[in-house]
Copies of this chain bind each other. A is one copy, B any other.
């Protein structure tokens, strides 16, 4: 694993770029929460992983009506967060609002077809004239393990959820979290599963009001989003184990681009996958090796998730770095 490096000019330039995104209103509040969460985990000697999840919205107007987005539902991030928690990691879950959440995602699965979650509840009249709210007991096998796991995570204060909508909020919260885990040294991991926008419209170019149709079809000039991966891996969380993702729709570009990213940003792992097979096939690429994780059709039909294999693989790699460094 490549853990030694010198700061490149690129990274410094990118830090300036973040300054161009004005800080979200809740930044101080979020920072305080994250810092005290990390203190708690330090005192309990837990490893901590920052999981980012969901897509980032890029506003096209100041008083935002329209924005550019991507089809990320947070499946990968929310599932991985759950497996990390199961393995004893504390999780800082930085997620796009209204995308999937660890544990709760199992309920949303039921309810995704609209109203069905309401069918789980029944009002039962009691003999004294009052009503009791009951739950459809056929839901038990599905919900009991989820509820048990959720309750345990909650009791042990192992999960901190931070919600964002825009690219700007995301970038600031990521910086806060990556810097906060510094005291944890090599026992921290950063798992960058969020689908971050590649392009945005800079603040000075945004129209004040809703774009008017009367003026004719607009032309949107996009600008490249600064890649913060370099900052995460080389500055903010420089001793942490950093995992990034590459999603492509074109197979010929997949492994090549993953390798390029590893060389450029000097982090530990790239997980590469195609849009079509993202639920069943992941390439785990490091500087030294390259392996493929596959979820078979049989496993998939039994409700298996490729994120379970991924998290197990990453934890093993994290252990190795951890041992090399501290033993």
Answer whether A65 and B71 are a contact pair too, CB < 8 Å, given A220-B220, A220-B222, A222-B218. Answer: yes
The interface centre, meaning the residue of A118, A198, A253 with most chain B CB atoms within 10 A of its CB, is: A118
Contact between chains at B70 and A248 (CB < 8 Å): no
> Which stretch (A3-11, A14-22, A84-92, A107-115) binds chain B?
A107-115
The interface centre, meaning the residue of A161, A209, A223 with most chain B CB atoms within 10 A of its CB, is: A209
Contact between chains at B68 and A64 (CB < 8 Å): no
Contact between chains at A131 and B115 (CB < 8 Å): no
Contacts of A220 in B (CB 8 A): 219-220, 222
> Which stretch (A97-105, A279-287, A311-319) binds chain B?
A97-105
Answer whether A65 and B60 are a contact pair too, CB < 8 Å, given A114-B104, A133-B135. Answer: no
Contacts of A63 in B (CB 8 A): 249, 275
Contacts of A134 in B (CB 8 A): 134-135
Contacts of A133 in B (CB 8 A): 135-137, 139-140, 143-144, 147
Answer whether A65 and B275 are a contact pair too, CB < 8 Å, given A147-B123, A161-B114. Answer: yes
Chain A at the B interface: SS class = mixed
A211 at the A/B interface (Cβ < 8 Å)?
yes
Contact between chains at A210 and B161 (CB < 8 Å): no
A221 at the A/B interface (Cβ < 8 Å)?
yes
A322 at the A/B interface (Cβ < 8 Å)?
no
Contact between chains at A67 and B65 (CB < 8 Å): no
Give the 6 A-B CB pairs with smallest separation, nearest first.
A133-B135, A220-B220, A63-B249, A69-B69, A217-B222, A209-B249
Answer whether A223 and B219 are a contact pair too, CB < 8 Å, given A68-B66, A140-B131. Answer: no
Answer whether A121 and B147 are a contact pair too, CB < 8 Å, given A98-B98, A220-B219, A250-B209. Answer: yes
Question: Which of B71, B103, B211 contacts A118 (CB under 8 A)?
Answer: B103
Question: Which of B69, B139, B161 contacts A66 (CB under 8 A)?
Answer: B69
Nearest chain-B residue to A64 (Cβ)? B71
